[in-house]
Amino acid sequence: MQVPLQNTRQAFDLIIFDCDGVLVDSEVISCRAHAETLTHHGYPITAEQVLTRFLGVSDREARLAIECEMGRKLPDDFEAQMKQAALQRYASELSAIPFVGDAIAATGLPRCVASSGTPEKISHGLTCAGLYDLLAPHIFSATQVQRGKPAPDLFLFAAEQMKARPQRCLVIEDSVPGVTGGRAAGMTVLGFHGGSHCQAGHAGLLSAAGATAVFDDMRQLPGLIERIGAQA
């Protein structure tokens, strides 16, 4: 068990965690379900293509982009179908990102979740991974704001709900849209590239998007926060 940090409160009042790919190793599962559902509705696409195009993008905005390309609407219940396909896999395939629970506890800071997923998907994923009680009830979804990532809306909403100033918030993200959104909100962002979906070069993409530092092992998180806090 790691010892809680002593000095991070001087730099940060809140840590905002993305969910998929940061807390739960779900991106590969979600992309597979997304690809299967789109292909079923006449838009052939692979899980790898979904990952490349839509990592970190809200389901709503991904749908709008695809409908524009198709020139027609997807079924009204498309998101429900996609969510059901993913949730069916969660119980048997989903796991927490290694060491993330201990890392969260070691920070000793207030925390919340800000994810592009729906509230039901976020809660179910965290529950399956055994993390829900560690983070509830401070769980926020892109469905609660007008614009999803890479817009800053969700991060600013989360900070407002948690009564924290944006400049005193630290965001943990695994996607370029997430890093972009966190930076646009005026927050410090750390890029995590330890999920099973992260390919060679992903760390560089996160750095280029504005991440202050990147890491691939959650055991590194408390030390990174302490170092960044000391430099602030």
Domain ranges of the chain: 8-25+95-231, 28-93
pLDDT of residue 205: 96
- Report residue 80's pLDDT band, with 50, 70 and 90 as the boundaries: confident
- Report residue 143's pLDDT band, with 50, 70 and 90 as the boundaries: very high
- Give the class (CATH, top level) of 28-93: mainly alpha
Question: How does the average pLDDT of the chain come out, rounded?
Answer: 91
CATH H superfamily, domain 8-25+95-231: HAD superfamily/HAD-like (3.40.50.1000)
Q: Is the pTM of this model over 0.85?
A: no
Long-range contacts of 135-141 (CB under 8 A, 24+ apart): 135/17, 135/23, 135/104, 135/111, 138/110, 138/111, 138/112, 138/113, 138/162, 139/112, 139/113, 139/115, 140/112, 140/113, 140/114, 140/115, 141/115, 141/116, 141/117
8-25+95-231 shares its CATH topology with 28-93? no
Contact assessment for residue 109 and residue 133, using Cβ atoms and an 8 Å cutoff: no
- pLDDT of 1 over the 80 cut: no
